[in-house]
Structure 1
Amino acid sequence: MNYHSSVLAGLAALLILAGPSRAQAPGKPKAPAAAASAAPPSAATLDARYRSGKTHLDQGNYQAAFKDLEPLAQRSARFVRAADAAYLAAVAATRLKDWAEAEQLLNLLRTEYPTYPNMPDALFLQGQVSFEQGDHDTALKTLAQLPDARLTPERELMKAAYLPRITDRSTWQRLLRRYPNDATLARAYADRLVAGGAFTEADRPQLDELIAKFNLERARYTPPPRATKKSSYNVGVLLPFELNDPSWQTQRKNQFVTDLYAGLRLAQDSLQRAGRPLQLFAYDTGADTLTLKQVLAQPELAGMDLLIGPVYKSGARLLARYAREHQIVCINPLSEDGDLVMDNPWHYLYSSSAATQGRVAAQFAISAFGTARPGVLLHEEGKDDTDFATAYRTTFEAQGGKIAAVRRFNGEADESLNAAFAGLDLPTTGHVVVASDNRRVGPSVLRVLQQQPAATRPGLLCPGSWLDNPRLEISQLNAPSVYFVHPKYYDEQRPGFRRLRQLYLQRQRLPPSVYANQGFEMLLYFGSALFQYGPAFQPNLVTAPPVAGAVFEGQSYQGGAHDNQVVPIVKLNNLELQLLR
């Protein structure tokens, strides 16, 4: 297998096993200033850099690989293997999820090096890049250019992985008109209609036509009967109570689980008082997937109308698969990982995903900071922070803004934090965005920004968790241009919260934690959806307007979203929190 084949095999494996890889935007490497009389690098120097880039790529050090390879791809480098460098640099950019940079390199490759012998590999990669950017038409058009004998299984796997993410009906219809003979596209749409709960009687003629034309299994593509409404519902709660370990260490570690369940019980009481009887059945999933598998094997679980849990990612994937197989809506109570609910019409996040938070934050930044001056984006290395940063940059730049620099850092290392700010031109920067809940990060960021003169100091957009950081002074957070992305914001003067607090204190002798608040709000919303729409309520949430919360700002799953689209943005004004969005 040659090098390009091995890279391609790796891309296909990522699509099948894990979906898109975690991302860090590399940013454009700056060429070092050279003296006018300096000689261009020798062929041996360029070749050594190329080999170094390939080695970094093989080792998974994509940032370093991109830095080595991208300059070699330019015509001005006069590198004999510039086409290979362009392709491999594009691979590194896709592994970093910098889709815009990858597309630029692939466009360069096709324009400057049209006779590149591995062009089918580049076209395949372009298909992924276009899908990731939501340009489905270009993706399908590019993949159709692949020679019939090349990459056919991988191409169909890619389409099968990305097409189910389309939520807009008009997009589906447009693609079906433009690619009427694409069997994978037709099958993906039929799956969405039937398994996704989007089927209406108006869709039956088109569905019958697709079944006949592409010889689809009619039994599989017969829409299930709508679940009828009932007078009461059963909800399975699968949480790691770890009741078999009564030690104080375990009880303390699991206090958030206890609080979450206590909030669910209070919501159950509220629904009962409103004439909506709902039964909770709690299952202890333990701290490992083995216990969860034993719970899922219990026959009565298949008779539940709604499932809530679990809290650990490995278990969440298991329960999501179970929910899909048994067609029971499942709610993940705490996760912000949007990948968990991707391509599964029966799985929802109660919270806003990190990507949704990044998108909403960017939309706010356009109005708050404008686009005249570029932004700077700093984020930690974790998946949620990376997803936030990727969505933020994509949305901000799509609306005409510019991100001058993207830096990732390790919040536990002072040298990494210092490096994140090194070389930034803050006086010309419009705003700085930071994605990190680490308590060490806020003081470092604010210290650097406050060293700038007030007239040229950039605005700051940061997580709402900074408001609870004891290392930060309230005067720092109360600065004029400091804003907070705060998905867990709630107004303590709201009547709903005051009532919840009163009831919780009566029952628990303690004020409710944020986990208790979340449990209460979650069951109140989805329990009400059960009584309003029945157990298969997914199509109704697509068009349902946002619902104001009793505690938090509200819930919305409009447009087919499977995570909450309500993301509050707040700021301190005269030491009081002010809701801006």
Structure 2
Amino acid sequence: MNYIALLAFLLLSGGTLQAQDALKAYREAKQAILDEDYKAGMEGLRPYLDKNTYGQLSAYAHMHFALAAFRNEQFNLASSTLQALGQPPAGKESEWHYLQALLKFQQKDYIGGLTAVELIRDEQVYARAEEATFTYLRQAPLSSLVGNMRAFQRNKGFLAATSALLQEKSVMSTEEAQALSQIQANVVGETGAASVKPTLNREQLDIAVVLPFSFGEEKGKAALEGNNFLFELQQGMQLAVEEQQKRGRKLQMQSFDTERDPAKVLSILQEPYLRTADVMIGPLYPEETRLIGDFARQRALPFINPLSNLDDLVQDNPQAYLFRPAVGTIAARIVDHLSGALQAKRIALAYSPSSRDQLLAESIKQQAARKGIRITQEEEIRGNGMRSFLERLGIESREVQVDAILILSDNPSIAQPTLAQVEAIDFETPIIVPDSWLFFPFANYEMKAESQFLFFGNNTIPQTGRKLRHFREQFFERYQAYPSVNAQLGYEMILWLSETLSPAKGLDLHQNLSKQGLFQNGISLGLDFQKGGRSNAYVPLVRLVRGELVIQ
């Protein structure tokens, strides 16, 4: 994250100067610095360093010149330029001390840099200085930081860097343990959880993506090509980021491949970007979640599992979120529809051996029992067992003795025989299935089957509408392929995050979600975290009527 950006903006936009033709070269030099052509900017400013000729303007030119030299990694030149100036120009005292702090940090004069930070009075500049403090102090001697806790405890970047260095130690001295305890005591929030996260770039949303894009024998780019569902997710996210940036949204995304390797996960957590990100997408698997959980808790960094419905992954960590609905939420919505709209008393339940489907089936059984609904036939479907399950229900004889059939599986080998038998045999019993069944290429929901099938939502993406058409066109233009469901989910997730978190609204995910209500500005049917807290609580049941999804 570029912690000099604010200084450049303040210097180059401030200090009201008379715009005259004689100053054209001066303005061009400032613009060159903004355009990151530092050498050209410095050359353009050189004539204006003459105090006898340009008076007070020379002081501002010195500041611009020193900034450009620093950005061009000419640190000694930047330092000597400030020394030649002697004191800051009027109104630029905070920027002066900020640049002095950066130079001292660069020279490894950490205490000098920290002292300069404490002279900054402008709150916005001080916040940037805290960020720079965190970046530079990660290389500082720990003993000097612990010994100066009292002097610099106002600086959140100092606290974050000291805490990070302390936690890297396998054995701490008594003084170091006391210092860590003091830091945690200083930053306990209302939730009671310690946060040592440094002050971030409040002008930009920074998203870290931490997912196992490749693992096993194949790693790197080759492993990401082909039918990799996480690569598809990443494609959707990247397209959304680029679109939001073109629309003027200030956001950035950086991705890290865990390779499903604990050692790799730990190395990723040392990345500077991870320590200053606003939100993390990932991890995916339980073993990665456990490794990242403490890191996220300590730094108040919200992290979002993009695909799972298993709420046991998020229950014990206030920073953990599910992008999709939790198993219990899906079960409650299905059972409410069974007992309400369908007035069901007896149901049949089939489910796959996957963890999600087994837990969902168990939750439905428990909640159905409380509503007085009996499960008269239940089976975990393996292999080709779906056809025999339907036969035992009496479908072929049209003597089905249940009020509804629930099939919990995203597996096409379960969906295909079900659809084949429903098409071949005339019976009226409602069948409730996941919304993934909408996207199987062999699915044909025509005529009678339209009203018979109910699809329960799991961040459902309808396959019609202006926004979806736009997304598909842009995706095809970029990748020369049509987007998969995972690509659509990745795209939707970035739209949701960019709407929820922004410099104007603030970057506190939990607080913003509590105020947001139902989000319907993307391509899905909707997302609602206000009710669900840390997972999507919006689980519509829909029918497909004349090619359109109709919410029940």
Q: TM-score, normalised by structure 1?
A: 0.55
1:489 corresponds to which letter in structure 2? T
Q: CA deviation at 1:276?
A: 2.5
**Deviation string for 1:299-344 (max 9, x for gaps)?**
4421111111233342233223321122101111122211111122
CA displacement, residues 397-454 of structure 1 (integer Å, 9 cap, x when unaligned): 43x341233523233143x863686478964311111112222323444567789874
Partner of 2:238: 265
Number of equivalenced pairs: 359
Change (3 A) 1:549 1:279: same
Give the percent of matched residue pairs that are identical in Structure 1 and Structure 2. Answer: 23
Q: Which amino acid is the alignment partner of residue 299 of structure 2? A: H
Q: Which residue of 1 aligns with 2:525?
A: 553
CA-CA distance at 1:279 after TM superposition: 1.4
The AA in structure 2 aligned to 1:409 is E
Aligned-pair CA distance for 1:564: 1.0
* 1:480 to 2:458 alignment: no
2-structure distance, mates of 1:448, 1:254? 30
Asked if 2 retains the 8 angstrom alpha-carbon contact of 1:549 and 1:555, the reply is no
Counterpart in 1 of 2:285? 312
Task: Tell me the residue number matched to 2:269.
Answer: 296
Aligned in 2, Cα 1:340/1:549: closer, same or farther, shift over 3 Å?
farther
Q: Which runs of 5+ in 1 are unaligned?
A: 1-216
Shift of residue 548, structure 1, vs aligned partner: 0.3
| 1:495 alignment counterpart | 466
Q: 1:577 to 1:318 in 2, by over 3 A?
A: farther
Q: Residue 484 of structure 2 aligns to which amino acid in structure 1?
A: S
| SS of residue in 1 equivalent to 2:351 | strand
For residues 513-567 of structure 1, the C-alpha deviation after alignment (integer angstroms, 9 at most, x for no partner) is 2222111111121232221542322133234311104211121112352111122
Query: Aligned in 2, Cα 1:295/1:444: closer, same or farther, shift over 3 Å?
Result: same
Q: Equivalents in 2 of 1:237, 1:247: separation in Å? A: 16
Partner of 2:211: 239
Distance 1:221 1:287, change over 3 A: closer
Structure 2 residue 374 is matched with structure 1 residue 403? yes
- How far 1:364 moved relative to its partner? 2.3
Q: What letter corresponds to residue 240 of structure 1 in structure 2?
A: P
Residues 471 and 264 from structure 1, CA distance in 2 versus in 1: closer, same or farther, beyond 3 angstroms? Answer: closer
Between the aligned partners of 1:315 and 1:397, the Cα distance in structure 2 is 35
Instruction: Determine the structure 2 residue equivalent to 1:156.
Output: none
Give SS of 1:497's match. Answer: helix
Q: Is the 8 Å Cα contact of residues 496 and 522 (structure 2) preserved in structure 1?
A: no
The reply to whether residue 348 of structure 1 matches residue 318 of structure 2 is no
Q: Give the superposition deviation at 1:383.
A: 1.6
For 2:294 and 2:376, the matched residues in 1 are separated by: 39
Where do 1:107-506 residues align within 5 Å? 223=190, 230-242=202-214, 245=218, 250-252=223-225, 255-371=228-344, 373-398=345-370, 400-405=371-376, 407-414=378-385, 418=388, 422=392, 427-445=400-418, 454=427, 457-470=428-441, 472-475=443-446, 478-506=449-477
Cα separation, 2, equivalents of 1:447 and 1:508? 34
Structure 1 stretch 431-440 or stretch 523-532: which is displaced more? 523-532
How many angstroms does 1:230 deviate by? 1.6
Instruction: Tell me if the contact between 1:557 and 1:563 (Cα under 8 Å) persists in the aligned partners.
Output: yes
CA distance in 1 between counterparts of 2:526 and 2:473 reads: 21
2: distance between equivalents of 1:273 and 1:340?
35
Task: Quote how far apart the aligned CAs of 1:393 are.
Answer: 3.0
Report the Cα offset of residue 254 of structure 1: 5.9
Residue in 1 aligned with 2:551? 580
Instruction: Say which SS state the counterpart of residue 433 (structure 1) adopts.
Output: strand
Provide closer, same or farther for how the CA distance between residues 473 and 231 of structure 1 changes in structure 2, counting only shifts above 3 A.
Answer: closer
Specify the code of the residue in structure 1 equivalent to 2:520.
A
> CA separation of 1:517/1:438 partners in 2, compared to 1, >3 Å: closer, same or farther?
closer
Q: For residues 366 and 451 of structure 1, do their structure 2 counterparts lie closer, same or farther at Cα, with a shift above 3 Å needed?
A: farther
Contact 2:350 2:381 in 1 (8 A): no
- 1:427 & 1:284 partners in 2: Cα distance? 50
Q: 2: distance between equivalents of 1:435 and 1:377?
A: 8
Is the 8 Å Cα contact of residues 475 and 483 (structure 2) preserved in structure 1?
Answer: yes
AA aligned opposite 1:553: L
Is contact 1:446–1:476 with CA below 8 Å preserved after alignment?
Answer: no
TM-score (norm 2): 0.58
Unaligned 5+ segments in structure 2 are 1-183
Question: 468-477 or 496-505: which moved more?
Answer: 468-477
Relative to structure 1, the CA distance from residue 326 to residue 444 in structure 2 (aligned partners, 3 Å threshold; closer, same or farther) is same
What secondary structure does 1:369 align onto?
A: coil
Equivalent AA in structure 1 for residue 535 of structure 2: D
Q: Distance in 2 between matches of 1:375 and 1:519?
A: 35
Q: How many Å separate the matches in 2 of 1:451 and 1:496?
A: 36
Q: Structure 2 CA distance, aligned partners of 1:560 and 1:410?
A: 30
Name the CA distance, whole Å, in 2 between partners of 1:485 and 1:515: 17
Cα 1:450–1:506 change in 2 (3 A) is closer
Contact kept, 8 Å, 1:377 with 1:406, in 2: the verdict is: yes
Residue equivalent to 2:90: none
| Bigger RCO (CA 8 Å, 6+ sep) | 1
Are residues 564 and 427 of structure 1, via their aligned partners in 2, closer, same or farther at CA, if it must alter by over 3 Å?
Answer: same
For 2:236 and 2:535, the matched residues in 1 are separated by: 20
**Contact 2:459–2:527 (CA under 8 A) maintained in structure 1:** no
